[in-house]
Structure 1
Amino acid sequence: MKNFKPYYAVIFTSTQNENIEGYTEMANAMEELAKQQQGFIGLDSARNDVGITVSYWESLEAIKNWKQHTDHLVAQQKGRQDWYSWYNVRICKVEREYEFNK
């Protein structure tokens, strides 16, 4: 078994309004910006009727810094004003993981 260090997952689940003009561009920009942040590990995302994005971070401090990043604050405000009818954020500590790969 490989050496495993616990990390954190931020699970962002959302439903969108009908007006999503500019959403894809902003989502892509935020993904690229997140990748540049200290403590960022990775991201998984699926956007359909319900959007789910899971980002992975080394620490709660790294998550806090990302939440307070100036450009991310702009995206959050735009999301509440224009794009989302609902969202939920969960922050979880990942204690263990495993995968299957054929």
Structure 2
Amino acid sequence: MIAVTPKPPYYAVIFTSVRTVVDDGYADMAKQMEELAKQQPGFIGFESAREEIGITVSYWKDQTAIANWKNQMDHVLARKMGREKWYQSFKIRIALVERGYDFEK
């Protein structure tokens, strides 16, 4: 589903990843993090897709909201587990969305 976002400016956190073959609890943790992120002040929405690589884009009101999410204790634990067993590699990019438009048939 495409996230509903407000009029810019706001921020996008782009998480691009390559998984390992280990699945041990990954889907459950991903769902928990999705639900937890939705509860964070400043969270706007997210979009995610996975094939050979995974791309998740989360949208946030400001950089403070992003920093607070990064430091949220359950998220810290999930990131640690990701490094230890679920991800071969990943990259995070943070971007300011200055303009946006859409189309719907």
- TM-score scaled by structure 2? 0.92
| Runs of 4+ deviating beyond 2 Å | none
Partner of 1:6: 9
Letter of the 2:64 partner, please give it.
Answer: E
Cα distance between partner residues in 1 of 2:59 and 2:8: 13
Partner of 2:74: 71
Cα distance between partner residues in 2 of 1:21 and 1:10: 25
* SS at structure 1 position matched to 2:76: helix
* SS at structure 1 position matched to 2:48: strand
Alpha-carbon RMSD across the aligned residues, in angstroms, is 1.1
Q: Deviations over 1:12-60 (max 9, x none)?
A: 0000001121111100100000000000000000022100000000000
Cα distance between partner residues in 2 of 1:84 and 1:99: 32
Cα distance between partner residues in 2 of 1:54 and 1:4: 17
Partner of 1:85: 88
Shift of 1:5: 3.4
Cα distance between partner residues in 2 of 1:12 and 1:51: 8
Letter of the 1:74 partner, please give it.
Answer: L
Partner of 1:28: 31
- Does the Cα contact within 8 Å between 2:8 and 2:100 map onto a contact in 1? no
The gaps in structure 2 that reach 5 residues or longer are 1-5
Partner of 1:95: 98
Cα distance between partner residues in 2 of 1:51 and 1:4: 27
The alignment-based identity, stated in percent, is 55
Partner of 1:56: 59
- TM-score scaled by structure 1? 0.95
Aligned length: 100
